[in-house]
Amino acid sequence: MRGVASALLVAALTVRFVSVSPTVRLGAPARVEVATVPGAICDIEVRSPRGLVRTAGIRPKKAFDSGRIVWTWRVGKTMRPGTWTAAVDCLLGEQVGRAETRFTVK
């Protein structure tokens, strides 16, 4: 056989934001809610102008029977204000999906 090539095809998994705190004050809670397929495992990555944010509440979660996942965390009082990014990656079997949004911290 000449020129045989193989490709890994990955099915797309729908991930969409249901709600995001549009503006968050330093020291206040931030909230992100996504909708995906029930049972999907999703991880959230939050970035401030200084880089990756690591805090309680930002960890992988499994979608409820409704397909919803909610993350809530407190924005530290010493964090840098500005435009932040939240990216959610989800996996279910061989299906993967990603959604990204921005919000403001004051």
In sequence order, the β-bridge partners of residue 97 are 90
In sequence order, the β-bridge partners of residue 96 are 12, 91
Domain assignment present for residue 30? The answer is yes
Domain assignment present for residue 6? The answer is no
Is the pLDDT at 9 greater than 60? The verdict is no
Reported as a single tens digit per residue, the pLDDT across 64-105 is 999 999 999 999 999 999 999 999 999 999 999 999 999 999
Question: What per-residue confidence (pLDDT) applies to 11?
Answer: 72
What is the pTM (predicted TM-score) of this model? 0.87
Q: How far is CA 96 from the centre of its chain?
A: 13
Domain assignment present for residue 9? The answer is no
How far apart, in whole angstroms, are the C-alpha atoms of residue 12 and residue 6?
19
Q: How many domains does the chain have?
A: 1
- Domain span holding position 85: 16-105
